[in-house]
Structure 1
Amino acid sequence: MSPQTVSPGGTVTINATKCQMPTVRVTAPVFDDVTLNAGRSATAKVSPDAKPGAQYDVTFDCKGERGTAKLTIAAGGARPSTPTVPRGVEAGDGGSLSRLDATQLLAGTALVAGAVGAGAYAARRRSG
């Protein structure tokens, strides 16, 4: 189970590596029952009302054989933090227009003008 200490309202990832059965039932007083299928992990959302500083038993039932793990609720009632990205993406312009300088702008304009001129020349030759 990861993490073993979680804030109220946080999420834990549960797995059962010692059970060879295709399904394992996992229960705890602070989240809804979870069924692990074919050795895969699952997530569970801890109740936002879980008591900070308390420890709860998480029970794993593998075809009648039971095991437990301790889940500790973070003291102080701190909420899980959202990771911050040091620099986000530049949405809306694809990041291509944000740092144009005069040289790039002139080169792009010249390429577009050249393409338009070549198209007009080819169209005139074809119609004549």
Structure 2
Amino acid sequence: MALYAIHNEIGEIKQANKIFAPTAAYEQQLRDLGQSFAVDPTAMLLSPDDWYVDVAGGALTERPTLPVVAVRTRIKAGGGDRGVLIGVPKAGKVTITTGGMLLFQDTPGATELEIPIPVPCVYRVAIELWPYRTYVAEIEAFA
């Protein structure tokens, strides 16, 4: 029994198959299809949100956590108050949504984010940087 983690060039797992009787023919079939893969005889099925393939070593690796800290997550709406996140990686993609609507998506290039909210609502802030796990925080603005 073995887990086959099929991945792209940066190690992002696109498919994971638990094969109960792995064979050389199966591995050759993957190669013939141009698939990059890592094999782990001990792993159970795993989430690509939590794992990736270290392409240099060819091993399944747990995705690290971003060192972001939400300092202020409850603020007064419409004033000078700001939601604050520190430790944001400069190359991280920041996405801000509320009620399922996209408000902002960019790479601000700053390690600290100050986020004003003009009306009472909850902003969902997601920060992505491969191979780290996506960091998510909610900032609530009250009246």
Q: What TM-score bracket applies, with the shorter chain setting the length?
A: 0.3 to 0.5
Task: Name the structure where helix makes up a greater proportion of residues.
Answer: 1
Q: Which has the larger radius of gyration?
A: 1
**Greater RCO, CA 8 A, separation 6+:** 1
Q: Scaled by the length of structure 1, what TM-score is found?
A: 0.39
